[in-house]
């Protein structure tokens, strides 16, 4: 790929493709479609919608693959969700929600030649990834491709996102962190507060504080301020970020510099539009970013 740094490129590409995928979780149209197919509430839609590519899985499987949620979170949604809607029905609702949401967000541009071009390149990138050892990427890669270019783009970004996420989990496991400790260390970066992250992941105060104590004992967190990383913790967390980027570099190495740059140029305005509308909250645990990093004209 010439002079292009593959890990750096992986992070830059993630910043522009992830918002396309992430509307699934935050756009109202997606929530409406999940509820219309029979699912009860936001979290049932989230766990069933993201887990459906793997089939009617049990909560233990979702807890393991999603990695960062308290087990009780998945158990409240699954397996009950499959009694309301089959995985196939949930997948149909997921596509319908993505189509409606992206259609609204992008407007007439959603059927533009630029979207078709982006869909073609993104699909080639998604089909270039190796999914062995990456369960969520493998499950989404096994799905049939839709015919609408806008949905092809969404599905490609979904595969790429889960490919990166599976690699991030591997990096966390290699660092010796469980799901809760991964969040405690993420809070320690200063990118997000405990008050925002803890309730969204279902961990109670006792569990969170025990994880903080374990991280203090490892030397990762400041004993006087357990929401702050020590130099050792900051170095270790940076290694996790770097490993995540390295493990996510495969599609861009295979695509080559020219196609990768073309796709990034096509996706930046779309990601910027999503950021401008505030559809997807930031930051994201699988890579630190700010909203301005997704706006057109910024690297």
pTM of the model: 0.92
| Nearest by Cα to 122 from 141, 97, 98 | 141
Residue-wise pLDDT tens digits, 134-152:
999 999 999 999 999 999 9
Asked if residue 282 has pLDDT above 90, the reply is no
Asked if residue 178 has pLDDT above 80, the reply is yes
By percentage, how much of the chain surpasses pLDDT 70? 92
Per-residue pLDDT at 284: 57
Instruction: With H, G, I as helix, E, B as strand and everything else as coil, classify residue 227.
Output: strand
Query: Mean pLDDT of all residues in the chain?
Result: 92
Helix ranges (DSSP H) in the chain? 6-26, 28-36, 42-51, 59-66, 71-77, 80-84, 87-106, 113-127, 135-141, 149-174, 179-188, 194-201, 205-217, 231-247, 250-255, 257-277
50-64, 88-102, 186-200: least confidently modelled range = 186-200
Asked if residue 33 has pLDDT above 50, the reply is yes
Q: Which residue has the tokens 């196939």?
A: 88
User: What's the CA gap between 128 and 135, in Å, rounded?
Assistant: 16
Asked if residue 286 has pLDDT above 70, the reply is no
């Amino acid at each position: 790929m010439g002079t292009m740094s593959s890990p750096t490129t992986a992070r830059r590409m993630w910043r522009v493709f992830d918002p396309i995928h992430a509307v699934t979780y935050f756009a109202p149209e997606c929530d409406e479609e999940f509820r219309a197919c029979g699912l009860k509430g936001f979290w049932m839609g989230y766990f069933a919608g993201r887990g459906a590519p793997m089939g009617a899985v049990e909560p233990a499987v979702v807890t393991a693959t999603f990695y960062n949620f308290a087990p009780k979170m998945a158990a409240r949604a699954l397996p009950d969700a499959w009694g309301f809607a089959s995985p196939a029905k949930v997948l149909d609702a997921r596509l319908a929600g993505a189509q409606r949401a992206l259609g609204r967000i992008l407007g007439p541009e959603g059927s533009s030649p630029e979207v078709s071009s982006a869909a073609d390149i993104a699909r080639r990138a998604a089909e270039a990834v190796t999914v062995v050892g990456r369960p969520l990427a493998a499950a989404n890669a096994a799905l049939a491709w839709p015919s609408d270019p806008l949905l092809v783009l969404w599905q490609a970004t979904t595969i790429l996102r889960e490919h990166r996420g599976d690699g991030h989990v591997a990096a966390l496991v290699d660092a010796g962190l469980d799901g809760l400790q991964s969040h405690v260390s993420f809070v320690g970066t200063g990118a997000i507060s405990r008050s925002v992250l803890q309730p969204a992941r279902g961990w109670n105060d006792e569990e969170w504080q025990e994880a903080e104590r374990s991280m203090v004992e490892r030397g990762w967190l400041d004993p006087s301020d357990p929401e702050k990383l020590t130099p050792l913790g900051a170095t270790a967390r940076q290694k996790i970020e770097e490993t995540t980027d390295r493990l996510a570099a495969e599609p861009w190495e295979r695509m080559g510099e020219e196609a990768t740059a073309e796709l990034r140029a096509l996706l930046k305005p779309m990601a910027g539009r999503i950021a401008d509308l505030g559809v997807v909250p930031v930051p994201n645990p699988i890579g630190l970013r700010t909203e301005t990093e997704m706006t057109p004209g910024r690297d």
